[in-house]
Amino acid sequence: MSPVGGPVGPAPGADRSTDPYLPQHGNGGYRVLHYDLDLDYRIVPNRLAGKAVVTARAVHSLSRFSLDLAARLGVRDVRVDGRAARFEHRLGKLRIKPERPIGYGSTFKIEIRYGGKPAPVSGRWGDIGWDELTDGVLVASQPNGAPSWFPCNDRPDDKASFLVTLTVATPYTVLVTGDLVVRRRGPGTTTWVYERNEPTSPYLMGVQIGRYELVELAAGGVRQRAAIPPRLRTALRHDLGRHGEIMKVLEWMFGPYPFREYVVVVADDDLDDPVEAQGMSVFGRNHLDGRRTHERLVVHELAHQWFGNSLTVADWRQIWLNEGFATYAEWVWSGASGGPSTDAHAAQWHAWIAAQPANLTVADPGVARMFDPVVYKRGALALHALRVRLGEQSFFALLRSWAAENRHSTVTTAQFRQHAARFAAEPLDDLFTVWLDRRPLPPLPRIA
């Protein structure tokens, strides 16, 4: 409740995004241009105090609007263009009524002071977002965990730039997706300032806090570093010892790495699965075993920097454009590094999918199955079928131009189909229809 007025009800359409899978996340009426987050975090009591300044542009005339913010984070004050605004915060929505309506096309600033004990957003995929580790913090927000730590327009197609200032106790290292621009020591605390200039979806902003040592992963044109518990240094040198080669293979496949730096964080806790943020991937200590058991996951998460992070799905129906591409990168790396060939992987996973019920459509799997392994593997098989149809030269030229022409933007399956058609001598509608739009599994594509 606001000190300057009573409850603020939702405006028609203001609290819903255009994403059919997560309609309660994301908001209409405006697009965010920039987030400026100034955060103070106390690790032992798990207390976060923050000020967020959100710069946005109205795409409709607005008498009210909303942002996503977890209910457990209390809001103390809201101002729009410097003027106190009425607000209501409940059920994960911060509804705001500015003192003056905002005109169509106007740029405006929302200042929000908030705080509390951050926790993950719970849902069908488990706990997503700001999560306490044994000694530190991990933030992994795909697909809907960003509101667990800052007020945002939580939709993948609303990309913005970020400036994140975070103050924590001095013994801890802070890594935020972006470029470190300032680190200031204070009495018992250190303030870290990170800038993310490339357009970034809220769910791709990561914060990692721990007692980490920073080490170089590989030499080369792209800066590649790792943040690790010091005792895991030897295992890291072996398990990620080919990271520079992996980067070269993926740049050959997809074109230049789309950011200035890549950081691998290894948390000192076990994690079920690694996760990617923009310019960063996070693994658990269990992913380092000294035998490169999980190298395919290293490839998978790096591939997401192109497909998922630079090229981000316009909505979650298009998830195969992230996961099918990253899975196919695993198969190509396997063959390039002396392991089973891409054809062998395709045959293996085609047989596996054939043994599953044919009850999923890759291009629209439904919210309950958007992270189903079939989406990953059959999405990769669709790319393999396209490679067989087009031939090596045209296929990889297609991938590189797809990544280059859509750099730092959002994409859809329809756009990919149109893009692929430019590289084909004959229509590709039949190929995409059977692999992406229909449930029965097509025959395994084979190189002539």
Residues known to be catalytic: 301, 376
213 marked among binding-site residues: no
Half-sphere exposure (Cβ direction) of 402: Cα atoms closer than 13 Å? 29
408 marked among binding-site residues: no
262 touches 246 (CB < 8 A): no
Q: What share of the chain is helix, strand, coil (3-state, %, to 5)?
A: 30, 35, 40
User: Can you spell out the DSSP letters for 189-251?
Assistant: EEEEEEEEEEEE-GGG--EEEES-EEEEEE-SSSEEEEEE-GGGHHHHHHHTTTHHHHHHHHH
276 marked among binding-site residues: no
**Burial zone of 338 (CB within 10 Å; 0-12 exposed, 13-18 middle, 19+ buried):** exposed
User: Can you spell out the DSSP letters for 120-172?
Assistant: PEEETTEEEEEEEETTEEEEE-TTT-GGGTS-B---TT--EEEEEEEEEETTS
Chain Cα centroid distance, residue 88:
28
Beta-bridge mates of residue 167 = 40, 191
Task: Rounding to the nearest 10 degrees, give the CA dihedral for residues 238, 137, 190, 82.
Answer: 130
CA distance 91 to 111: 20
Q: Residue 13, SS3?
A: coil
User: Annotated binding site for Zn(2+), which residues?
Assistant: 300, 304, 323
Question: From the annotation, which residues make up the binding site?
Answer: 300, 304, 323
